[in-house]
Amino acid sequence: MYALARSVALIVVAVVGLLSSSIAFEAAAALAVVLVQGFDAVIGGVISDRVKTLGPAITALVNAAALIWMLTS
């Protein structure tokens, strides 16, 4: 439930960024998502759970690539 609440909050921030057409706001929201997913992957590694490590790590990498693509476009 904690992870769901955090995820919903980040989605709301991302949608607000899209509606406001602010690249800086959207980039900040994307960076926050990448950091959260990165920390989730680290925690998954600490508890030795492959699914909780690989899932967030792959998602963080994909989101980081999307953020870089957005900023260079």
Q: How confident is the model at residue 15 (pLDDT cuts 50, 70, 90)?
A: confident
Q: How confident is the model at residue 1 (pLDDT cuts 50, 70, 90)?
A: low
The phi, psi pair for 12, rounded to 5°, reads: -60, -45
pTM: 0.80
Distance, CA of 30 to CA of 54 (rounded, Å): 19
Collect all residues with Cβ–Cβ distance below 8 Å to 14 and sequence separation of at least 6.
26, 29, 30, 33
User: Percentage of the chain surpassing pLDDT 70?
Assistant: 96
Distance, CA of 25 to CA of 41 (rounded, Å): 25
Q: Please identify which residue in the block is written with the tokens 């998602």.
A: 59
How many domains does one find in the chain? Answer: 1
Q: Is 21 helix (H, G, I), strand (E, B) or coil?
A: coil
- Parent domain of 32: 2-72
Are 26 and 14 spatial neighbours (Cβ–Cβ below 8 Å)? yes
